[in-house]
Amino acid sequence: VSGSVTIGGTLNAGSYTLTVGGNWTNNGSFDPGTGTVTFDTAGTVTITGDTDFHNLTCVTPGKELQFKGGDTFTVSGTFNLNGAPTLGNVKLTWQTGDTLHYRINLATEQAVSYLTVEHSYADTKTINASYSTGDDTDADDLAPHWVFSEGAIRYWVATPTTDDTWSNTANWSPFGDGTGGAVSPLFNDIVFFSTPTPANVTVTLDANSTASSLTFGNDQTHRRLPLHHYRQALVRLNHAS
């Protein structure tokens, strides 16, 4: 659809991808099925009306999505909102005249990148936004919430049977309930040791052990400390205390 979508009756997405070049207004009923709604053109669009999406996608650098303040937007599948380095962030904000935050409700914790986020709450699952900034969000509240980092975001997801070396990619995920395989943290990245990490954790630091900060605790907000360049050391963490 090169222009806008306005739903007055019922729209069933089925398993299709609906590409929208203009605004989205839901005054009726939208059945997301297993489909994807993609906002793909440059420029600013408005998204209005409580809507359940299955997959929601915008990967156009510089694009601005203006969500209606006070409305709730639910994503049961993939929340694929990502800008690109050097090309620009995707901006999420409210609409002119709004005074209430808009809410992004995800079914699962997910990772996004290169976003500029304003006036938003993440009510149901934490949204981990790497290389991103936030203003007037719930980032300082207890989880679930938005998490922003000028670098990447990494969660320690090692199990007692895996190699506990910091640089082992099997120990790192971009979100808390994910599986390993992410690149190990770099200098500007922030690191979380929290659920589902076991309460007692041993981490073997090596020559590649760098990060902007470490955060310990189930609520993902307490005891954030800088990681200085320790070498060939063991860090024993007990976040139950």
pLDDT tens digits for the chain (241 residues)?
Answer: 889 999 999 999 999 999 999 999 999 999 999 999 999 999 999 999 999 999 999 999 999 999 999 999 999 999 999 999 999 999 999 999 999 999 999 999 999 999 999 999 999 999 999 999 999 999 999 999 999 999 999 998 887 777 888 889 999 999 888 889 999 988 888 988 865 444 456 677 666 666 776 776 554 443 344 443 333 333 444 333 3
Q: What is the pLDDT of residue 201?
A: 60
Using CA atoms, how far residue 21 sits from 1, 216, 230, in Å, is 6, 43, 50
Taking the C-alpha atoms of residue 7 and residue 86, their distance in angstroms, rounded to an integer, is: 36
Q: Is 177 exposed, middle or buried (0-12, 13-18, 19+ CB in 10 A)?
A: middle
pTM: 0.85
Distance, in Å, from the CA atom of 8 to the CA atom of 20, rounded to the nearest integer, reads: 16
> Could you tell me which residues come within 8 angstroms of residue 122 by beta carbon, excluding any fewer than 6 positions away?
103, 104, 105, 106, 137, 138, 144, 145, 146
pLDDT at 88: 97
